[in-house]
Amino acid sequence: MAGEGPQARGRVALIWDERAAGYDLGPGHPLAPVRVELTVDLIRRIGLLGNGVDEVLPRPMDDAELLRLHREDFVDTVRRLSWDPTAQAEARYGLGPGDTPAFEGMHPASVLICAASIEAARQVWEGEADHAFNPAGGLHHAMPDRAAGFCIYNDPAIAIDWLLEHGAERVTYVDVDVHHGDGVEVMFRDDPRVLTVSLHESGRFLFPGTGAADDIGGPGAQGSAANLPLHPGTTGSVWLEAFDAVVEPLIRAFDADVLVTQLGCDTHATDPLAHLALTVDDMAAIYARLHRLAHETAEGRWIAMGGGGYQLVRVVPRAWTMAFAEMTGRRVPIETPMGWRELAVERTGDIAPTAFLEDPVRVSDAMRTQAAEAARTSIQALRELLLPIHGVR
């Protein structure tokens, strides 16, 4: 079903508010906001904006939208620690020393990111844009009652919930982050209107330790979750083979009204927190597949959020700029702009890449074989357990 409102004619929206950089977990934390700031700067410098491609500020978000998916006592705790991060926090809320430390202003910064994902959903559902991207979003580990894995509030889930409340009958969520999209899955595992798909490094090796291939949804909605755990050393060709084998037919069979995607780029071979072996070229191929499927199954309605990615200069800005270029139907240049490279050095001290694309990654024959076998096992499990539920043979 289409949303109400004026119909987009090739318009794409970049949802961005400079204040989103306030989502800052502290010095040295891997989820540094500079990675998103450098992404937006690169998008601007290579000329992707204009002629129907616009930056859009998110609208204010109602607390009721936040409380639909997050428990009030948890939100109250985030508010309290937002004013005084040194105050005592109960461990059950997931805030404190470790992955997700409390920081000053975390409630308004987190709400702003959720508001941006709602705005992306609204732009697409109401026909103001065909595609919309919130690079600061994708905080997919947050749970109804606690923060987890660098994520305080779950903006992808909130955007999906908004779509359902405003008339979408079916939503497909595809998560390509290296970590299992556990929070989004938890929030919709009993809702047959939402299909959550996650391709990720196996929980045997990586946080959050979930997302096995036999995890196919809650008792009230068997088939609502699809999980493809992958082995360390998985290359782009193996990743794409798995996607083509089971994810594409699944997306087609579910035939949703909207495609929502989380574009974490921590699958890159050099990411410091994970062990897959993709390149930015492989990521460009992923984005092209998602774009095509949005048009072929959801009448072009495509909403994307950022997510993980901890090579702050070498990977994240290039990958997400390529994703946005895919959305706009425009090409990135061969070389990154000199001004952007200078800014990256100024902001981080790291030398930025001069080219958008990069050479294939070298993986040992033994690791390549092991990863390919593990992928085939996951593919076969989904073919046996999940695809028949959706009528795919």
Residues acting as catalytic residues: 141
User: Could you tell me the CA-to-CA distances from 256 to 77, 150, 232, 387 in Å, in that order?
Assistant: 36, 29, 31, 16
Q: Tell me the β-bridge partners of 196.
A: 173, 225
Whether residue 208 is preceded by a cis peptide bond, meaning omega within 30 degrees of 0, is yes
How far apart CA 249 and CA 385 sit, in angstroms, is: 14
CA angle (298, 124, 322) in 5-degree steps: 85
> Concatenated DSSP letters for 122-162?
HHHHTTS-SEEEETT---TT-BTTB-BTTBSS-HHHHHHHH
Instruction: State both tokens at 374.
Output: 């593990």
User: Could you tell me the CA-to-CA distances from 378 to 49, 51, 151, 384 in Å, in that order?
Assistant: 40, 43, 27, 10
The H or E element spanning position 295 is helix 280-297
Place of tokens 């994307």: 304
How far apart CA 324 and CA 316 sit, in angstroms, is: 12
Instruction: State both tokens at 375.
Output: 């992928």
Q: Are 335 and 355 in contact (CB under 8 A)?
A: yes
Query: Using the 8-state DSSP alphabet, how is residue 93 labeled?
Result: G
Residue 342's SS3 state is helix
Please provide residue 69's backbone torsions phi and psi, each rounded to the nearest 5 degrees: -115, -15
- One-letter amino acid for residue 143 of the chain: M
User: Could you tell me the CA-to-CA distances from 146 to 98, 126, 154, 333 in Å, in that order?
Assistant: 14, 32, 10, 42
Q: Cβ atoms within 10 A of the Cβ of 5, count?
A: 12
Query: Using the 8-state DSSP alphabet, how is residue 323 labeled?
Result: H
Whether residue 135 is preceded by a cis peptide bond, meaning omega within 30 degrees of 0, is no
